[in-house]
Amino acid sequence: QVQLVESGGGMVRAGGSLRLSCAVSPNTFSINTFGWYRLAPGKEREMVATIRRDGFPAYADSVKGRFTISRDNAKNTASLQMNSLKPEDTAVYYCMGSTGHAYWGHGTQVTVSS
């Protein structure tokens, strides 16, 4: 059973940075694709970024050039570096790991004030 636990959320002013981490147990080796998704009040869940086993990333247009997704199999983690944050980035951010079956963390709140 894969378990994912997010950390690193918080409150930051517009233009600031946060780094989200996703700790994976038992390990990342069974994870083909990691993804970060977000859910804002009144909006549908949105894919933010994904990264394949070979390290190939993909990003939503709204975060390209500002966010960077990474995975570290040695540390059993996936991360999302978020720079130049905007108020519209405010949401609960969820880590997803896919083995063919999608596993989800419980989410971490990111709040960006103007």
Summarised one tens digit per residue, pLDDT across range 57-113 is 999 999 999 999 999 989 999 999 999 999 999 999 999 999 999 999 999 999 999
| pLDDT classification of 48: cutoffs 50, 70, 90 | very high
CB neighbours of residue 112 within 10 Å:
20
The amino acid that residue 105 corresponds to is: G
pLDDT level of residue 49 (50, 70, 90 thresholds): very high
Nearest alpha-carbon partner for 68 in 104, 25, 5, 17? 17
